[in-house]
């Protein structure tokens, strides 16, 4: 039987509504989460057939006002979001990966 594996420190942060406002950002994030979970079911079925470990994806969705833009220096520039909720979610993610180990 295939068993889940834990890949620590791997995450994806996606956001809608930047750089252009998107009044349907919450709906778009929910649709992306549902599609991701459905794809993971199909992928894990393939992995079971190959006798490989299962992959587990966990998804959190939140909406809040944040600052979005290019942040960094000429050597390292990143388009990202900053804000109170973004910081809280990052801390929650850190706690969650500690609980996987």
The whole-chain average pLDDT of the chain stands at 82
Residue 38 and residue 80 in one domain = no
pLDDT tens digit at each of 101 positions of the chain: 444 444 445 677 788 888 888 899 999 999 999 999 999 999 999 999 999 998 888 888 888 888 888 888 889 888 888 888 878 877 877 777 776 65
* One domain for residues 41 and 2: yes
pLDDT for position 42: 97
- Concatenate the DSSP letters of all residues of 10-51 into one string: -------SSSS--TTHHHHHHHHHHHHHHHHHHHHHHHHHTT
d(CA 101, CA 28): 32
Q: Which domain holds residue 24?
A: 1-7+17-60
**E strand or H helix at 95:** helix 84-100
Same domain, 47 and 26: yes
Q: Do both 75 and 101 map to the same domain?
A: yes
**Full-model pTM:** 0.71
Structure tokens at 40: 């993971």
pLDDT single digits (tens) 29-55: 999 999 999 999 999 999 999 999 988
């Amino acid at each position: 039987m295939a068993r889940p594996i834990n890949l620590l420190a791997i995450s994806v942060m996606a956001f809608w509504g930047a750089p252009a406002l998107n009044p349907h950002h919450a709906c778009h994030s929910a649709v992306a989460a549902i599609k991701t979970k459905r794809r993971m079911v199909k992928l894990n079925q393939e992995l079971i057939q190959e006798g490989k470990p299962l992959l587990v994806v966990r998804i959190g969705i939140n909406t809040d006002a944040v600052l979005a833009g290019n942040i960094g220096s000429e050597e390292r520039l990143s388009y990202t979001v900053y804000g109170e909720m973004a910081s809280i979610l990052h801390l929650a993610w850190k706690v969650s990966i500690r609980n996987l180990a």
